Structure 1
């Protein structure tokens, strides 16, 4: 069974924006300098197991393999973040989740992975960094080597999802074309 490691990396910036400011499809990473953080420093607007997640100096960190969820629901949004992978990282950003207790069949996951690790390099392309996990491979692998900062922007507008990694649009998903979670 696949070992899920969620957000076991540092997030430097994590923002949301109003849908009317979206460039569709996105051509560059947005200027997020005036955006608010997705999570407050005290994490009072998040749901997570006690003692697992910390948010200090703009960096979100987990001490073990557990998810963190926003209390607020988002439909059309931009999520802009920076992350580092470690050797063998397997993580993800969960979108459009309708049941956090049974999220795997009830959500979309944008994969964050160390594509340089042998186990992920040999995995299907739909398991690589920037993929819609298990369903849609990124156009190319752009994740940097472990320990280097990456920038990812996920844009969700209505039934569309775009993933930009390190300056290039690598994944585009029209959810209307995906009507079965098993495909």
Structure 2
């Protein structure tokens, strides 16, 4: 009996279809947290608005971009709680370079300076992108004393050494260009890349889930992408 063989073009189409379906599946897992129109799925916590009727929220949508105006200070926080995910953020300083941050594993509001929620901050401050700042939570990195200072001064509250310096500076693009920050949170690890360069890797965090927050901390910052994707393995 002669074996039946599929024509070559059919085989090639099958391979193409399989790869296309796999790509579509992967893309479907990349879920945008910003719809380009409004701040659905987020809520703002801006302490100054508690007592003022004239101030406006620093968070808005402009020309399809999510914008943090920088003042008054506060946070834009997801309504949803996340764990085991990749977070991709594309941002740029709209005017002068300054300060901002992405907070992961955020929970209890206003535990620091009556403004910052309990969390681990991934710094976006110009020329310091990728630093960790611990806020009521904690995380470890290699060479802790070199990167955080004397052990006896470590802590997660006001007056303590909460900053853990990144692995390398110089990863940011020139002012006005878009930066890509990629953060992976898996169990008790947090790993950060800026424009494709590994800038921090923490482990043994005191928390493994929470909300995601963007800061208003003095500088105008534009975001064109904020998206999450579930993961089961952290990248090497």
TM-score by length of 2: 0.51
- 1:32–1:109 distance in 2 versus 1, CA, 3 Å: farther
Counterparts of 1:14-163 in structure 2, within 5 Å, are 35-40=30-35, 41-48=37-44, 51-56=57-62, 58-63=64-69, 64=71, 65-85=73-93, 86-102=95-111, 104=116, 106-115=118-127, 128-133=128-133, 134-141=162-169, 142-163=171-192
Runs of 5+ consecutive residues of structure 2 not aligned to the other structure: 1-25, 47-55, 134-161, 208-236
The DSSP-based 3-state class of the residue aligned with 1:113 is coil
Shift of 1:151: 0.6
The DSSP-based 3-state class of the residue aligned with 2:110 is helix
Distance (whole Å) between structure 2 residues aligned to residue 66 and residue 147 of structure 1: 23
Shift of 1:105: 6.9
Bigger mean CA offset, 31-40 vs 68-77: 31-40
Structure of greater relative contact order (alpha carbons < 8 Å, 6+ residues apart) = 2
Shift of 1:42: 2.4
Shift of 1:56: 4.6
Kindly tell me the number of residue pairs found equivalent between the two proteins: 136
Kept in 1, the 8 Å contact 2:110–2:118? The answer is no
Report the structure number with the largest CA radius of gyration: 2
| 1:16 match | none
Distance (whole Å) between structure 2 residues aligned to residue 157 and residue 42 of structure 1: 29
Runs of 5+ consecutive residues of structure 1 not aligned to the other structure: 1-30, 116-127, 179-183
